[in-house]
Structure 1
């Protein structure tokens, strides 16, 4: 594992972690959720390293305004800039070779912006995993509540959290994360929800800056990249969603799958928005399917076989 810093076009420092050889046969990029950080993928990093060792290049990073990356002004918290940051990371740490890209929530929205922000990367993309995400129409989400109440809560809750971050010290919010805990349990997780996973998400929410909370919310409400989906036609693509996802419901996943020729849609019963935590095995296995496809194609001339298989997806996924 190596930790790095890259500087964005607008002068922000982005924290990046790389695993594996720079000349590996495939690079896997894991783009995390809004209000999270690279630990969003910690289960998948563990699983992929156990499976492939250094035979793949694995890259995670903290988005601008998240984790150990620089705090960003509200105006710089946008999906197009996330896509350009992703491109910068590819240019710096994976300048050649095929790419498998996975995105959770805003990380998946970032992928849908690649065709317009970094079209030069499209020929290198050999696999895509969309996890609990959307291509647009988040302004219609009601969080599982009646329409009027859901719309009101959807529009106010991010600013309630942002105001808490402005008005209360970090230490006070760490000691009493009452609202953050309620948000995580009520809106982010399905069933079952492990205490340690909820605790990590609550900690990430507590450490999210008000600019990140408000800026990305505003940009996501206007996010509309349905028209970009066809750029991924015939690229091996899997779309995952939990049946109890209240932030990016199953119909959003279905829209992505319909928009990409050949895409597969898998719905995890009873799971919520945090599939990388809630359905670790499913997410890791589907990543491995995409990676193995690339390794198989590259290994055939030399007779090299890809690594051992993970177990099959959890029973009950459809």
Structure 2
């Protein structure tokens, strides 16, 4: 490890320790909120039989399919209904769609999968930990689990980037199969990850320091992952402060914290460089051919509202839903609004 990396690691560790100490009082307050809750929901209760999908490089992707429930009258579901493929974001897994899955289960055929190196999917070779590979993985999931019929794609954060890359790298499949797109809390490019820490950090400095710091931290995974372990103060602080726009139920914060903690720091470091170089603006015009809904919270600290507005301006006919006071986890904070918007998207896709 070089001298710069050692210094960065030392600063990172010191910062983690300071943040951990600072959050103890707040965690007690949030725990008090949890004690006042009427019920604790099991956010991992929704399951379908596990399916393994082999990606092009051999990486095994964990997937689940929720089929349409038979109508009580015995009538068959409308065969024109598109299958909805949900694509989760960075450091999350398919469980992040709990509120959408719960509300829509039985009414739509839905495919969920863990992106490579996330959740229960296999670890990706380092050289394939890229946004481009994620787009190819989505193509494989569609080919394996939706071999026929129309498709609607819904992506959150990095999942939205995966959808854009899929459209760029597999234009024929997109044109033939996709009938609607939902892009939630995501961006097509121009992302500056350091701005989540402070909008006052100059871009030139942030672009130089942020990736080096992440790499340095990844070189000491035992130290960092122990600090980020499920239930740790620092993990809770990150989940509470950076992902939510307003006070969230403690159970939701802890659920998010568990998903984040389950993603090793080395995985985070492998995918991190792709965010800084992402540029998918040219492919957005393709989405003008299908109903497209863009959703973002007005207090999103990671992919701010400006990103969604830029995408909407490049997609003719796109619907932009700006959710007041919601953060990056708008799919938690404003689940009812998100679900209603997605149902409207599915209806629009069915009419085509």
The bucket for the TM-score relative to the shorter chain is 0.7 to 0.9
Q: CA deviation at 1:69?
A: 0.3
- The equivalent of 1:148 in structure 2 is 202
Q: 1:164 to 1:45 in 2, by over 3 A?
A: farther
Matched position secondary structure for 2:110: strand
Matched position secondary structure for 1:2: coil
- The equivalent of 1:97 in structure 2 is 149
Give the distance between the partners of 2:228 and 2:316, measured in 1 at CA.
46
Q: How many matched pairs? A: 292
- The equivalent of 1:7 in structure 2 is 54
Give the distance between the partners of 1:160 and 1:243, measured in 2 at CA.
32
1:109 to 141, 144, 161: 161
- The equivalent of 1:128 in structure 2 is 181
Matched position secondary structure for 1:147: coil
Give the distance between the partners of 1:7 and 1:247, measured in 2 at CA.
31
TM-score (norm: length of structure 1): 0.84
Q: Does structure 1 retain, via aligned residues, the 8 Å contact 2:228–2:234?
A: no
Cα-to-partner distance string for 1:214-243 (whole Å, 9 max, x where unaligned): 111111111110011001113111111111
Answer with 159-168 or 8-17: which moved more.
Answer: 159-168
Q: Does structure 2 retain, via aligned residues, the 8 Å contact 1:72–1:211?
A: no
Moved beyond 6 Å, runs of 4+: none
Higher-Rg structure is 2
Q: 1:178 to 1:115 in 2, by over 3 A?
A: same
Unpaired segments ≥5 residues, structure 1? 298-318
Give the distance between the partners of 1:232 and 1:87, measured in 2 at CA.
16
Give the distance between the partners of 1:162 and 1:42, measured in 2 at CA.
30
- The equivalent of 1:33 in structure 2 is 89
Q: 1:169 to 1:272 in 2, by over 3 A?
A: closer
Q: What aligned pairs does 1:199-278 form with structure 2 within 5 A after superposition? A: 199-278=254-333
Answer with 26-35 or 186-195: which moved more.
Answer: 186-195
Q: Does structure 2 retain, via aligned residues, the 8 Å contact 1:177–1:206?
A: no
Q: 1:197 to 1:24 in 2, by over 3 A?
A: farther
Q: CA deviation at 1:141?
A: 5.7
Cα-to-partner distance string for 1:132-170 (whole Å, 9 max, x where unaligned): 000001137612531339937854674576456443666
Cα-to-partner distance string for 1:45-67 (whole Å, 9 max, x where unaligned): 01111xxx2x5310000000000
Q: Does structure 1 retain, via aligned residues, the 8 Å contact 2:228–2:261?
A: yes
Q: 1:283 to 1:249 in 2, by over 3 A?
A: same
1:279 to 334, 337, 349: 334
Q: 1:158 to 1:182 in 2, by over 3 A?
A: farther
- The equivalent of 2:31 in structure 1 is none
Give the distance between the partners of 2:228 and 2:242, measured in 1 at CA.
19
TM-score (norm: length of structure 2): 0.77
